Amino acid sequence: MSAFEDFLGNPITADGDHGASLIDDFVGGFLAYETRAVNLLAVADEAVDLPLAQTYAGMLWMFLESTDGPARAAPYVARALVAARHGTRREQLNAALLDAWWRDDIPAALRLGDQIADEFPRDLAAVKIHQYLSFNRGQSPDMVRIALKALPKAGDVAYLHGMLAFGYEQCHLLDEAEAAARRAITLKRKEPWAHHALAHVLLTRGEIDQGAKFLRGVHDSWTDLNSFMSTHLWWHYALFVLSQGREAEALAVYDTHVWGIDKGYSQDQIGAVQLLTRLELAGVAVGDRWEDLANHLAARATDTAQPFLALLYLAGLARAGRAEANTLLSAIRARADSAPDHSRETWTDVAVPAAEGLVAYHRGEWRTAVRRLGPVLPRLVEVGGSHAQRDLFEQVVLDAYIKDRRWTPAQQILETRRGFDPVGVPVNRALGGVYEALGLPSLARQAAARAQATAEAHRHDTPLVTA
């Protein structure tokens, strides 16, 4: 064994240049969301004496985000702990972090992540994992705090600024988020997480045209990305064009870039559920697309690895009318009873009523949907997901009000939403219908005119994606 350094300057234990390069593939690929991150798995079963090879392989399996992940990670966790006894302190801390994550002791994993950032601030893979675990708990201030710890020693690394940008955005610090994202892109144009963070900023500000233009301008750099990052960036692009009234292009994005890249992966599945639901809420006919998606979601019928993921699997299964929706609803209720202390309240007080509301909505039980899902909207941050992703649940409550002909709460929600998307086509079309029902024809005409003007302004835009 010899001492090497990864590309960030962190000492590593490796058995030669090839082993060191595979560790670089993981670290660099993980930070850049590139497929090379998994190259390490090809040698991990043989490199049993290399602490980071075992640790990073275990982390890759944990990123399955499924109930199968810990079982697949188990042998690597065990070998990482053994190999780390003869490794560096950083390698020992990383192995311990993996072990805590694997045991679902997330508070311990986060404490170890903090310790690594304190002692080894250029260990940006550990910083990224801390952000990931914090994000899944809705602890966005911790996403900022951990990145700022690393900033004095790793400010030259574009990926850190991308991480900081997303943390700021999730804290509603939009100016800071934009500055960090643009700094990342200045350092490295191909920084997809910074592209993603800036897309969030522009969406939240209602700068729809700017958002679509920005993503069109950088999409040529989305090469060699893993399926999550690729599909998620295109998902963001679809939200912009849907607001512009370009429904055909949004549907084409779903067909060509959001669904079908890795149909078995958690993030690809929930992205598809999200976009297909939004298309339908905007009045787009999606044909038989739910059937294909539900065929893959069926395998998630007992998957409660994460509450946010489980809720979206459930929404897709319920929308498709699949019996597995009942199975998953029961699994979510059972998970609330068995969850560890650090997440039990989230499952019990947030995930269960949200799940019951989603099922009620897809069964046409509008009042029950509102009663169960509506009150937990302010707490949904606890289940994970981003602001943009969780916005889907508010849209479901809004649609339940509209379908139940409860026009006043619908008007209140829609006008609030228009503050963030002033001339968006779906929100203004919905407002037009609500104001007609309320006996306010002049306001209905104004809303309809806004929707029509936006659609007309983009009618002759050249699509980036076609069917």
- Kindly report, residue by residue over 427-462, the tens digit of the pLDDT: 999 999 999 999 999 999 999 999 999 999 999 999
- Whole-angstrom Cα distance, residue 259 to residue 249? 14
Q: Kindly report, residue by residue over 279-329, the tens digit of the pLDDT.
A: 999 999 999 999 999 999 999 999 999 999 999 999 999 999 999 999 999
Cβ neighbours of residue 430 under 8 Å, at least 6 residues apart? 398, 402, 410, 414
**Over residues 335-348, mean pLDDT:** 97
**Ranges of H-type helices in 103-226:** 106-119, 124-136, 140-154, 158-170, 174-187, 192-204, 208-218
Structure tokens at 41: 């798995």
pLDDT the model gives residue 2: 61
Which has the higher per-residue pLDDT, 19 or 343?
343
Q: Which range (3-12, 55-64, 219-228, 303-312) has the least confidence?
A: 3-12
Q: Kindly report, residue by residue over 48-78, the tens digit of the pLDDT.
A: 999 999 999 999 999 999 999 999 999 999 9
**Res. 188 pLDDT band, cuts 50 70 90:** very high
Cβ neighbours of residue 455 under 8 Å, at least 6 residues apart? 244, 245, 425
Average predicted confidence (pLDDT) for the chain: 97
pLDDT the model gives residue 287: 97
pLDDT the model gives residue 36: 98
219 has a pLDDT exceeding 60: yes
Cβ neighbours of residue 71 under 8 Å, at least 6 residues apart? none
93 has a pLDDT exceeding 90: yes
**Res. 3 pLDDT band, cuts 50 70 90:** confident
Q: Kindly report, residue by residue over 257-278, the tens digit of the pLDDT.
A: 999 999 999 999 999 999 999 9
Residue 382 is given by DSSP the state G
pLDDT the model gives residue 392: 98
Q: Kindly report, residue by residue over 101-159, the tens digit of the pLDDT.
A: 999 999 999 999 999 999 999 999 999 999 999 999 999 999 999 999 999 999 999 99
18 has a pLDDT exceeding 80: no
Candidates 223, 224, 274; CA nearest to 253 is 274
387 has a pLDDT exceeding 60: yes
- pTM higher than 0.85 for the full model? yes
17 has a pLDDT exceeding 80: no
pLDDT the model gives residue 335: 98
State the distance between the two ends of the chain, measured CA to CA, in whole angstroms. 53
Instruction: Count CB neighbours of 299 within 10 A.
Output: 14
Burial 12-32 (b: 16+ CB within 10 A, else e): bbbbeeebbbbbbbbbbbbbb
Percent of the chain, pLDDT > 70?
A: 100
1 has a pLDDT exceeding 70: no
